[in-house]
Amino acid sequence: MNYPKIVKILEVKKETDNIRTIKFEYPGKMIPGQFFMIWIPDVDEIPMSASYIEKNVKGITFKKVGDATNALFGLKSGDKIGVRGPYGNGFKITGKKILFVGGGAGIAMIAPAVEEAINKNISSDVILGVKNKNEIFFEKRLKKCGAKIHISTDDGSKEYKGLASDLAIAFLVTEKFDSVLTCGPEIMMKKLLDLSVNIPFQASLERYMKCGIGICGQCCVGKGLRVCEDGPVFDGKTLKKVEDFGVFKRDAAGKKIKF
């Protein structure tokens, strides 16, 4: 049933000054890229992709951006939240060599996908795109699992100076990848789609959600594609036909907001 299960927070971990991970007991299988609806009682309920997928424990990693994430930021271990899901389709992780591109908070949900790729013996290059070196997270975790990590910072404070999509160009022209998997700012993902000519492409989209179960219509893009139910991961072929992609999203009232 799609009803929130009340769980106790097991662990809160500081990733950067404004990024935290919360882990909670939530047994069951899930696919990297799938998400939960996280209920912070008296505040809000928001969609969040899993950043940790273990047999009995799941985790979410988030940046302070609004009322809900601000409230989540203040929670301690032992506090209660409501969790329903997992929802959505998740990434299809296949092939011999994958280029992952995580931008900002999008890195959170890319991490379990990278770990699964490595488990499947898929060679994984991961671009972590952030504003500056203080915002990098999951670098050690992903290096440890065996992925090749490349960092882009807007201000050049670590490794490549510039946008993650620009750094991706260098890889895409010099090496052959079986697919490109990404999550991050939509304009970045749109650029990556345009760059990924003839390479299978998957991107995870973020939209304001209400029901999470495919009925309210709040998160629809293109011709009635529900990000919660038909997504959040869409392939390049589908996204090329979605006129909203990289152009606009809708607010809680359903008004179009340009990216």
Partner 1 sequence: MKIASLKLKNPTILASGIMDEDSGSMERVFNSGASAVVTKSIGIKAREGYPNPTVLELEYGILNAIGLPNPGINNFKDEIVKLKNLKIPVIGSVFGSDVEEFLKLSKTMQEYGTDALELNMSCPHAKGYGLEIGSDPDLVKEITSKVKKSTKIPVFVKISPNLTNLVEIAKSAENGNADAIVAINTVKAMKIDLELKMPVLSNKIGGYSGKAIKPIGVRCVYEIAENVDIPVIGVGGITTGEDALEYIMAGASAVQIGSGVYYRGIDIFKKVCDEMKNWMKKHGYTKLSELIGVAHK
Applying CB under 8 A, the residues found at the interface with partner 1 are 1-4, 6, 37, 39, 41-46, 80, 82, 209-218, 220-226, 250-256
Q: Which long-range contacts (CB under 8 A, 24 or more apart) does 223-228 make?
A: 227/88, 228/47, 228/87, 228/88
CB-nearer residue toward partner 1: 199 or 213: 213
Judge contact between 101 and 185, C-beta under 8 A.
no
With respect to partner 1, which residue has the nearer C-beta, 80 or 131? 80
DSSP string, 156-173: -SSSEES-HHHHHHHHHH
- How many helices (H) and strands (E) the chain has is answered by 6, 18
Q: Which residue's entry shows tokens 């939240």?
A: 81
Minimum gap (Å) between residue 144 Cβ and partner 1? 36
- Side-chain half-sphere exposure of 161, counting CA atoms within 13 A: 3
Q: In the complex with partner 1, which residue's Cβ is closer, 108 or 225?
A: 225
To partner 1, the closest distance from the beta carbon of 63 in angstroms equals 19
The residue (of 92 and 250) whose beta carbon lies closer to partner 1 is: 250
Shortest distance, position 15 Cβ to partner 1, whole Å: 25
Shortest gap between Cβ of 21 and partner 1 (angstroms)? 22
Asked if 164 contacts 182 with a C-beta cutoff of 8 angstroms, the reply is no
Give the Cα separation of 188 and 180 in Å (integer): 13
Closest approach of partner 1 to the CB of residue 60, in Å: 16
Query: With respect to partner 1, which residue has the nearer C-beta, 4 or 200?
Result: 4
